[in-house]
């Protein structure tokens, strides 16, 4: 099964092509530079950029299906023949418009998967409309995908060779941490008990059909800002660029995390919810009266202190939830997981809790991408969860589990 996946929920225009859950191409057109001077995502600018980039990005992703790229010529072919074969096929694409490239290559696609929500409404609309248009025009099956489920299953993206072949043991506990959401999600697989008592053949069939029937229960989430959003806002207060997370990470490496005393909100409460707005406010009031040069001299210390408070909060609740739900696998994902310090601390926690942890294999699988949307599309396709009336698929900015 070949899947074309599309993601436009925030400020990245993304398309990917997968063969089942194996990634063949992953294209991301980032709008970071367009939003940087405003210190955050500007919806109208995001929409315009998505509209401009959506077709070129899809065409670029589909190029992996061009025979010249994929064709495995026999080692017995004379070199000149191989070269000519590749060159002539490539040239047939060279003078085509993006629309014509899509028209030529989309025939090999079986399913189109698109992020339906949650996210920025007018940004989501661009991807959903394009997916609908292509699915109707070329008579492809269509699947709507939850962006947060995409982040969770980013852990299951395989390369062309089917690696890594990760097996999640259930129940699993997933932590997704990005600029838009911070959630702890219990992932169960209701199909597992069905296996018990079945004949070997039935068992295999059931396994094939049902094993990926994930059930998600949100057991904790932020009551206000997301963790990535808090890092971005703190960066803005220090006069740093956007997005702040990666800049704070770089500065924090050189700073003293005990420089500023900051709260770990809700950390003593029994629930698994987070809050980052109190932390942000405390940070603001502590540096509000500081002259600019004092902030400038202490950027590393301030970054280290703020980042440590955010990561402490994340880990305290994650640990509590692990102790309570006793998951067999831990999953972590989302844009903030691009942070090496957080990955290190999560690995240490997993070791302490004697539970294996999966984190996305590549940096670009942490932040928004369409590969993760394609993987969710793959599992949904296995369960025949296609959109019945393609015209009716609508964006859902508040889509939940
Ligand atoms: O998943 P994502 O690309 O988009 C959303 O779904 O929100 O996450 C973006 C967030 C931003 O807040 C950004 O500052 C944060 O992820 N981020 C990082 C790092 N790279 C991206 N935070 C900390 N360290 C990083 N290296
Ligand atoms: Zn995201």
Looking at residue 37, its pLDDT comes to 84
Instruction: Judge if the beta carbon of residue 336 lies within 6 A of ligand 1.
Output: yes
Assess whether the C-beta atom of 360 lies below 6 angstroms from ligand 1. Answer: no
Find the ligand nearest to 32 CA: 1
Distance 345 CA to ligand 2 centre (A): 21
User: Ligand 2 centroid to 389 CA: how many Å?
Assistant: 27
Give CA–CA dist 343/339, Å, rounded.
6
Distance 80 CA to ligand 2 centre (A): 46
Count other C-beta atoms under 10 Å from residue 215's C-beta: 13
Q: What is the mean pLDDT of each run of 10 residues along the chain (401 residues)?
A: 97 97 97 86 92 97 83 46 46 85 97 97 98 98 98 97 93 96 93 42 45 87 96 96 95 98 90 95 96 96 98 97 97 97 98 98 95 97 94 95 86
State residue 328's pLDDT score. 97
Give CA 277 to chain center in angstroms: 24
Mutate to test the pocket of ligand 1, among 179, 230, 234 (most ligand atoms within 8 A of CB): 179
Closest C-alpha to ligand 1, atom 16: 335
Ligand lying closest to the C-alpha of residue 242: 1
How far is the centre of ligand 2, averaged over its atoms, from the C-alpha of 226 (Å)? 11
Q: Give me the pLDDT at residue 90, please.
A: 52
Instruction: Quote the ligand 1 centre to 91 CA distance (angstroms).
Output: 38
Kindly state if the Cβ of 252 falls inside 6 Å of ligand 1.
no
Kindly state if the Cβ of 180 falls inside 6 Å of ligand 1. yes
CA of residue 157 to ligand 2 center, whole Å: 15
> Is the CB–ligand 1 distance for residue 119 below 6 Å?
no
Torsion sign across C-alpha atoms 209, 355, 358, 234: positive
The residues whose Cβ lies within 5 A of ligand 2, an ion, are 178, 368
Task: For residue 40, report the distance from its CA to the centre of ligand 2, in Å.
Answer: 15
* Ligand 1 mutation target, pool 336, 342, 363, most atoms within 8 A of CB: 336
Q: Which atom of ligand 1 has the smallest separation from the CA of 228?
A: 12
Output the CA 10–ligand 2 centroid distance in Å.
8
Atom of ligand 1 nearest to the CA of 231: 14
* Closest atom of ligand 1 relative to the 11 alpha carbon: 4
Kindly give the distance from the C-alpha atom of residue 296 to the centroid of ligand 1, in angstroms, as a whole number: 23
Atom number, ligand 1, closest to the C-alpha of residue 9: 6
* Ligand 2 center to 365 CA (angstroms): 10
Nearest CA to ligand 1 atom 7: 179
Say yes or no: CB of residue 334 within 6 Å of ligand 1: yes
How far is CA 99 from each of CA 58, 106, 307, rounded to the nearest angstrom? Answer: 9, 10, 45
Atom number, ligand 1, closest to the C-alpha of residue 243:
14
Indicate if ligand 1 lies below 6 Å from the C-beta of 182: no
* Cβ–Cβ under 8 Å, residues 11 and 123: yes
Q: Are β-strands 12-19 and 22-30 bridged in parallel, bridged antiparallel, or unpaired? A: antiparallel
């Amino acid at each position: 099964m070949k899947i074309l996946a599309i993601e436009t929920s925030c400020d990245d225009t993304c398309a990917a092509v997968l063969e089942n859950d194996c990634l063949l191409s992953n294209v991301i057109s980032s709008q970071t530079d367009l939003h940087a001077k405003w210190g955050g995502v500007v919806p109208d600018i995001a929409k315009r950029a998505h509209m401009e980039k959506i077709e070129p990005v899809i065409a670029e992703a589909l190029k992996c299906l061009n025979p010249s790229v994929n064709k495995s010529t026999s080692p017995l072919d004379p070199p000149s023949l191989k070269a000519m074969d590749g060159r002539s096929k490539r040239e047939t694409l060279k003078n085509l418009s993006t629309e014509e490239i899509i028209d030529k290559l989309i025939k090999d696609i079986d399913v189109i998967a698109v992020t339906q929500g949650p996210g920025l409404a007018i940004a989501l609309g661009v991807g959903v409309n394009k997916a609908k248009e292509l699915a109707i025009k070329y008579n492809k099956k269509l699947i709507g995908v939850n962006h947060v489920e995409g982040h969770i299953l980013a852990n299951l993206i395989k390369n062309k060779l089917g690696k890594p072949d990760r097996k999640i043991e259930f129940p699993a506990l997933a932590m997704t941490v990005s600029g838009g959401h911070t959630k702890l999600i219990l992932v169960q697989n209701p199909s597992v008990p069905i296996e018990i008592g079945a004949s070997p053949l039935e068992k295999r069939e059931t396994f094939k059909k049902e094993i990926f029937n994930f059930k998600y229960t949100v057991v904790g989430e932020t009551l206000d800002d997301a963790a990535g959003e808090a890092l971005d806002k703190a960066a803005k207060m220090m006069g740093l660029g956007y997005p702040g997370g990666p800049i704070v990470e770089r500065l924090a490496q050189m700073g003293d995390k005990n420089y500023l005393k900051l709260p770990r909100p809700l950390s003593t409460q029994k629930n698994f919810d987070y809050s980052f707005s109190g932390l942000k406010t405390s940070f603001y009031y502590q540096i509000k009266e500081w002259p600019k040069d004092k902030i400038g001299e202490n950027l590393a210390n301030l970054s280290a202190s703020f980042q440590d408070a955010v990561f402490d909060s994340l880990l305290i609740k994650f640990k509590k939830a692990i102790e309570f739900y006793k998951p067999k696998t831990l999953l972590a994902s989302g844009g903030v997981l691009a942070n090496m310090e957080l990955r290190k601390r999560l690995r240490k926690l997993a070791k302490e809790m004697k539970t294996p942890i999966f984190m996305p294999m590549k940096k670009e699988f942490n932040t928004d991408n369409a590969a993760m949307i394609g993987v969710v599309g793959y599992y949904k396709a296995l369960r025949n969860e296609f959109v019945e009336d393609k015209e009716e698929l609508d964006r859902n900015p508040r889509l939940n589990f």
